[in-house]
Amino acid sequence: MRHFAFLAALLLFSARAPAADADTSMQPYTGKVPGASLLVLKDGKPLLRRAYGYADLEHGVAATPATNYRLASMSKQFTAAAILLLAEDGKLKLGDSVRRWLPSLPASDQGITIHHLLSHASGLIDYEDLMPPGTTRQLNDGDVLRMLSAETRGYFAPGTGYRYSNSGYVLLGLIVERASGQRLPEFLRQRIFKPLHMDHTLLREADGPQPAHRAYGYSQQDGRWVRTDQDLTSATRGDGGIYSSIDDLARWDAALYDGRLLKDSSRALAFAAQNQVTGEEDVDAYGYGWRIHGDVRWHSGESIGFRNVIVRWPKQHLTVILLSNRNDPEPYRTAMAIARPYLAP
């Protein structure tokens, strides 16, 4: 009996130890500070589902697993999925020139394809660097298209290099609209969020529906937390406008293992090395909306007041999602540390 009691105690300790380690890793988010929501999934089941700190400091609203955070660049995987769905529908081809769909772009962009946009191989100039001095109004997708339509420079010839491009994903969002005949928020809702029962996820627009249970972004300035929820580039859509929670993202993660949303061939394209990356730690290549490092598929999302990451080990059916409404710390290393006890040797 003592032997069995010892084994039971050991198993209980082993189950608790990773959770205790996670709480230690998440200590910076604890207390009356901007917080975070954390999810660890193994074989589709939540091993850890926790929240820390506050979603709204001014009104004393604590973060929960249902809190919706601005995903920032984690949104790119949904924009890429929308393009892949339209390719499955026969509405577009990944080899289409972007000028087929966005003819206002200059003739110098004729060689840029949808594939180049998805894999950051376009060479497009960053729209953040094209903003006129003294800009005080938030940019929208139309503004980005107009700026890029007046720009004939590129960083490199299409398909000959890699440079992470928010410009490219803004254009992809516009292409979704042109090819589908629907506005981007509605296409995402009907074709991705609703079928997967991601019932509280949406692409936010200032004049559209607002996310429920919303976290507001904060930055630490002179030792205190200041709300910094929006900046001049927070209104663009295809590159970073989605709000979601760890609970809804668990449903997204599940759909990446089977054909309930995308065909096997489309998922293979998204997770394949479409463009090689050099000089970046923990990134060997880029797929369609995903960074690739060995067997790991991951993506971060950073905008003013938000820092997020999703890290997936598909072969081990392990995923860590960490969403936060603060400018620091960057969560990738924290997520990797939390995952370590769950990874098979």
The answer to whether the beta carbons of residues 312 and 256 sit under 8 Å apart is yes
For residue 90, give both structure tokens.
Answer: 């026969």
Q: What is the pLDDT of residue 8?
A: 43
Nearby residues of 269 by Cβ (< 8 Å), 6 or more positions away: 84, 94, 287, 288
Query: Per-residue confidence of the chain (345 residues) as pLDDT tens digits?
Result: 444 443 344 344 344 568 888 999 999 999 999 999 999 999 999 999 999 999 999 999 999 999 999 999 999 999 999 999 999 999 999 999 999 999 999 999 999 999 999 999 999 999 999 999 989 899 999 999 999 999 999 999 999 999 999 999 999 999 999 999 999 999 999 999 999 999 999 999 988 999 999 999 999 999 999 999 999 999 999 999 999 999 999 999 999 999 999 999 999 999 999 999 999 999 999 999 999 999 999 999 999 999 999 999 999 999 999 999 999 999 999 999 999 999 977
Separation in Å, CA 217 to CA 18, 69, 75, 227: 28, 8, 17, 6
CA terminus-to-terminus distance, the chain: 31
Which domains, and CATH codes, for the chain? Answer: 30-342 (3.40.710.10)
Q: What is the pLDDT of residue 143?
A: 96
The answer to whether the beta carbons of residues 56 and 215 sit under 8 Å apart is yes
Q: What is the pLDDT of residue 12?
A: 40
Residue that is written with structure tokens 């890793």 in the block = 25
Distance CA 2, CA 199 (A): 49
Q: What is the pLDDT of residue 17?
A: 64
> CB count, 10 Å around CB of 153?
10
The answer to whether the beta carbons of residues 164 and 120 sit under 8 Å apart is yes
Q: Which of 93, 137, 135, 139 is closest to 116 using CA atoms?
A: 93
Q: What pTM was estimated for this model as a whole?
A: 0.94
Q: Partners of 230 in the beta sheet?
A: none
